Amino acid sequence: MLTLSQSAAPLTLDPAKTTQNNEYFEALAYEPLIDRDSNGSLLPGLATSWSYLGGNNTVFQLKLRSGVKFSDGSPLTAQSVVADFKYVVKSAGQFAPYFTGDTFTATGPLTVQITSPKPDPDLPGLLTQDDVVGDMISGAALTHPAKLGTETFGAGPYMLDSAQSVTGSTYTYVPNPNYYDKSAVHWKKVVVKVIADPQSVLNAMKTGEVNFSQGDPSTLAAAKQAGLTVTMAPLLWVGVTLADRNGAMSKPLGSLLVRQALNDATDRAAIATALFPGNGTPTNQVTVPGGYGYQASLNSTYPYDVAKAKQLLAQAGYPHGFTLKLVTTDSGGQSLVAQALAQQWKQIGVTLQVTDYANSNTFYSAAFAPKFPAFMTVYGQQPIWIEGPGLFLPSALFNPFHTTDASLQSLYDQEARASGAQQVTLDQQVEAYMVRQAWFVPVLTQGLPFYATSNITGTSVSAQAPLAELYQLKPTG
């Protein structure tokens, strides 16, 4: 038996409606069209091959694996894949914006075409397990979508056993008898336990109650000391999303000078050193070293300068500062960073009123409602085309006030049509624009650690694939 832990229970098991943070609850039961290997390469999943047709990245073709059945016995067909994509768009979940305006066509029994109204260069990556929407749902189950929230209807190696599961606490998966590759089923049972507190996760791994888990920066040193296998690659930036950029809920945030002042008042090096020794690198940008659009020079945009920050606030009309409400959660050290920022920003007269929700689902609901003008953020590096609809475009979840910016949109659209060196340059321009507009207060970058006990293998990750792949976890020996 393999036992995993996750910090929060999913609000739904529906792949079209869940968030990327719940990917592990989906990956066991729902095989993706394209599989991302731990070394970053793309491998056949439910699709055996894929390619763009023509030269403008607007028509994408997938050829499906034959003879595949979902756990409910229904077959994988081009029509079932088309129905899945249409359901994703209708559901309006986190990843629906990636398919805005797309048409989906079954051009043969096992051939599907996705036609986009504008260039979309990153569909292969989007259709892997990393972003959930590549996980296909049974066509039969799509006729009864209400069941998707509490049961699984995928073509992956396992399926949820509701009788052995407790919603919100324990999710038990057993082998899918219809899975096409029996040799890839390494466990008789996989149990996912919901354990919110990072220290409790570490304790459970020390006792063997849990075999594999996403780690936390606050327990990284202790995990290594306990003899756990720790793997990680650069992935995350941690900081604040200054979401209310038009000043609807917090008038000061409508000023670029105020947002820049908050960046200048942040001593990133002190926070990284004090809170995340060995796994925290100060940053001014919303990507990671080696990530899409990264430029080392951008990290000198906001050197720690309290005097300058005060001057900017005075120019913006807030010489005595202001009060800013911020919501956070505990995972990833977010609450610790929020507390540090509250102390630092106090020096320029900004009172940070922090609301801390231990339950990450409650946190996300409050942040995305939006009920706060600013919220703590841990966000993974992504290709710019993928990052836009998730992080900064008007429809993005992490842009809950739907801020629009014609210049940023133009750069994004140019990037989608570019390739090679031109695309790299535009990636950098997009990231630099967000830094200078101070939409965020990035504080540091981290690797996302994964912990495993000695009886588990297959936990390797890489810069190209920093999320551990559940399909590759095997018993030692």
In this prediction, what percent of the chain has a pLDDT beyond 70? 100
Q: What is the pLDDT of residue 386?
A: 84
The predicted-structure confidence for 403-442, as pLDDT tens digits, reads as follows 999 999 999 999 887 777 888 999 999 999 999 999 999 9
Q: What is the mean pLDDT of residues 186-203?
A: 96
Confidence of residue 94 (pLDDT cuts 50, 70, 90): confident
d(Cα 119, Cα 216) in Å, to the nearest integer?
37
What pLDDT does residue 404 have? 97
Q: Give the model's pLDDT for residue 55.
A: 74
Residue 54 has pLDDT above 90, yes or no: no
CATH class of 234-447: alpha beta
Radius of gyration, CA atoms only, the chain? 22
Tell me the C-alpha distance between 204 and 452, whole Å: 11
Is 383's pLDDT higher than 90? no
Range 129-137 average pLDDT? 92
The mean pLDDT value for 50-56 works out to 87
Q: What is the pLDDT of residue 216?
A: 86
Give the residue-averaged pLDDT of 356-372: 95
Smallest CA-to-CA distance from 2 within 30, 20, 24, 33 is with 24
* Mean pLDDT to the nearest integer, 217-237: 90
* Whole-number average pLDDT of the chain: 94
Q: Indicate if the pLDDT at residue 136 is higher than 80.
A: yes
pLDDT at position 284, please? 98
pTM: 0.73
Q: Give residue 316's pLDDT.
A: 98
Question: Where are the chain's structural domains?
Answer: 2-194, 234-447
51: which 2 tokens? 């390619």
With a CB cutoff of 8 Å and minimum separation 6, the contacts of 420 are none
**H or E element: which one contains 61?**
strand 59-64
Is 126 or 245 the better-scoring residue by pLDDT?
Answer: 245
User: Rounded CA gap, 131 and 135, in Å?
Assistant: 9
Q: Which CATH architecture has domain 2-194?
A: 3-Layer(aba) Sandwich (3.40)
Cis check: omega of the bond before 370, within 30 degrees of 0: yes
For the ranges 62-66, 114-118, 401-405, which has the lowest average pLDDT?
Answer: 114-118
pLDDT at 389: 86
Alpha-carbon gap, residue 23 to 148, rounded angstroms: 15
